[in-house]
Amino acid sequence: MSKVLSPKEEFDAKPWAGKLRKYDILKEGTIALVVVALLVTSLAFIFGSPDEKSLTFKGWAISNSDNFYATTVQELAGTSGTATYGRPYNTNGDGLNVGPLFLQKWAGVTQRINAANDFVIEPLMNQVQSPEVKAALSQWSTATETQRTKWATTYDDAITKVEGKLSAVPNGDYGPVPALANGLTEMAKAGALDAALLSQGGFFQTDSTKQILFFGDGAYLDDAGTAANLQGGTWGMMNETGRYPGQAWLWLYSFWYQIPPFTNEDSHPIGANADVYIMVIMGLMSLGLIAMPLIPGIRSLPMRIPIHRGIWRSYYQSEGIKRRKR
Amino acid sequence: MSQKMWTARARESWQKNLPIEKLIPDTQPSYVASWIYVFGVLTIAALSMIVLSGLILAFAGPAWYHTSSFGHWVNSLHFWSVQLFFAFMVIHLWGKFWMAAWRGNRFKTWVSGAVVFVLSIATAFTGYLIQTNFDSQWIAFEAKDGFNSAGIGAFFNVTNLGQMLLLHVAFLPAVLGLLTLIHVLMVRKRGVVPPIDADSSNTEAAK
């Protein structure tokens, strides 16, 4: 059974039977294109566009070698952000959840990463190394998993205890870990790690996941993000490098990261799972935008707040149409 | 017999719903007389500039503009086209909201436009990920957590340059272009929504 339409609804749906005005759609389109082309060309000439050079492992290892070294040890110990991340990289963490929904966990491991092997051991093995590093690689590869973890975590703990000051780390039984970390640091300083991480022994590669994750485990990328005012807590999602407009259309997404409980990582369950809650909120809000004409209250706002009187002012005036009573 | 043919039925349906006079009209209802109406066509014009500059960038490859001054200028064209595109589209969207433009069987037109808006955000986002500079490194690292947390990252890997590149230059523009076309055809089919305070007495008086 079809819905009975009110006279006004019928009027809105029918083809317009009132006065017409001339309208040249092709001319309008052409003028719009020319105006926008001129505007864009002018803006491009005057302001250009941002292009901050990408960071490299070489830059990291040279500018903050202690941090690079300590991050390498964390990768070997399995204590880095990537090593403990969980899905989609490994099963070493449960990830975030919304109530009983563990969406991250359920999606599974689709981009498997073994931080110790992929970030440290494989790149070292794919390069010509000094006898010391070769011996360390041999000692590492023949040791049991338990022994490797013991060496690396003992060393990681010792570095953490002296707050990353490598010269203050006491002697101990760290096995081949110092030699491996030193080997990777030297490799990175020489500029060989950037390519080695990407290729992983192959020729054609287009996946930069490993480099990005390794970068994020250390302080280099984070410091650069802070310096460029790109951190999430400062509306970073919608900011751009330099003095350029960024993705302003992400303002609502960024907004949630500025207010409690999303700003407090220790607050359960929302703050600790802020990323997934915000994704769900934004998903629902996007659906709300798409289905807005169905939402009671919001759909009647245009009739209640007479902004349309301004939009159609000349028509209303010429026809002497007063505001309708609702 | 021709009534049963798909081709004949499709042609007849097109001619009935969207005759050439509706598709490229030379008249409009007299109420279509406000600057707010300009922002729809400006959005499409900005989209055209995005596609044009994007095609040049695609031909030369994602890293070209770092080393070529002409490439950097084309990148600037692309950048500012996107900025204007969103500015125009948001004004268009607000305008249509305050007109309650979904009235008179125009719900699907609103839906197609809103979907284009959401999809445009996704398309622009993939563009920021393939800049192959510091900005894209940062955005990829930061954004992965949101997508991973919702299980989307398992299939939509923002740190995979190759995947984002293909989505940005092939799949997403194709879908966006198609949806924009459908949106425009819907507007042409239904016509521009009449003013909220107008009713049949106004058109009767006009006759």
The shortest C-alpha distance from B141 to chain A (Å) reads 6
Partner-chain contact A308 B99, CB within 8 Å: yes
Q: Is A100 on the interface with B (CB under 8 A)?
A: no
Say whether B29 and A18 touch across the interface (CB within 8 A). yes
Task: Quote the number of domains for chain B.
Answer: 1
State how far the alpha carbon of B8 is from the alpha carbons of A176, B2, B182, in Å.
77, 6, 21
Tell me whether residue B19 is in a domain: no
A228 has a chain B CB within 8 A of its CB: yes
Q: Which of A32, A54, A237 sits opposite B132 (nearest CB)?
A: A54
How far is B20 from A151, CA to CA, in rounded Å? 77
pLDDT tens string, chain B, 207 residues long: the values are 556 799 999 999 999 999 999 999 999 999 999 999 999 999 999 999 999 999 999 999 999 999 999 999 999 999 999 999 999 999 999 999 999 999 999 999 999 999 999 999 999 999 999 999 999 999 999 999 999 999 999 999 999 999 999 999 999 999 999 999 999 999 999 999 999 999 988 776 555
Out of A36, A208, A237, name the one closest to residue B42 (CB).
A36
User: H or E segment at A20?
Assistant: strand A20-22
Residue B201 lies in a domain: no
Q: What are phi and psi of A158, to 5 degrees?
A: -65, -40
CA within 13 Å, CB half, A280: 18
Residue-wise burial string across A182-210, b where 16 or more C-beta atoms lie within 10 A, e elsewhere: bbbbbbbbeebbbebbbeeeeeeeebbbb
Q: Which residues pair with B29 in a beta bridge?
A: A20
Structure confidence at residue B60 (pLDDT): 96
Report the alpha-carbon distance of residue B204 to residue B176 in Å, rounded.
Answer: 40
Residue at B24 is within a domain: no
Q: What is the CATH number of the domain that holds B77?
A: 1.20.810.10
Residues of A in contact with B197 (CB under 8 A): 308-309, 312, 316, 321-324
Q: Which two tokens stand for residue B31?
A: 């109420």
Q: Could you tell me if A220 and A68 are in contact, meaning their C-beta atoms sit under 8 angstroms apart?
A: yes
Q: In chain A, what residues touch B104 (CB-CB under 8 Å)? A: 9, 11-14
Residue B5 lies in a domain: no
With 0-12 CB in 10 A as exposed, 13-18 as middle and 19+ as buried, what is B202? buried
A264's CB contacts (< 8 A; 6+ apart) are A271
* Cβ-defined contact of A88 to B154 (cutoff 8 Å): yes
Range of the domain at B136: 36-193
Kindly list the domain boundaries of chain A, sorted by start residue: 57-228
ipTM rounded to 2 decimals? 0.94
- CA-angle at B76, arms to B70 and B81, nearest 5°: 135
Q: Does B124 fall in a domain? A: yes
Instruction: Give the C-alpha distances (Å, rounded to integers) separating A99 from A1, A106, A271, A277.
Output: 41, 14, 13, 10
Q: What residues are paired with B28 via a beta bridge?
A: A21
Instruction: Quote the CA–CA distance of A233 and B126 in Å, as a whole number.
Output: 22
- Chain A interface includes B135 (CB < 8 A): yes
**What's the pLDDT score for residue A159?**
97
pLDDT at A233: 86
CB B159 within 8 A of CB B109: no
Question: Would you say A260 and A271 are in contact if contact means Cβ atoms under 8 Å apart?
Answer: yes
Q: Which residues of chain A have pLDDT under 70?
A: 1-2, 326
B1 located within any domain: no
Residue A116's closest CA among A160, A151, A162? A151
Helix (H) or strand (E) holding B28: strand B27-29
Buried-state track A218-232, b at ≥16 Cβ within 10 A, e below 16? bbbbbebbeebebbb
Q: Give the pLDDT confidence score for residue A289 in this predicted structure.
A: 98
A240 touches chain B (CB under 8 A): yes
Among chain A residues, CA nearest to B62: A206
Q: Which residue among B72, B107, B194 places its CB closest to the CB of A11?
A: B194
Would you say B102 and B136 are in contact if contact means Cβ atoms under 8 Å apart?
Answer: no
Distance from CA of B183 to the nearest CA of A (A): 13
B205 domain-assigned: no
User: In the prediction, which pLDDT does B165 show?
Assistant: 98
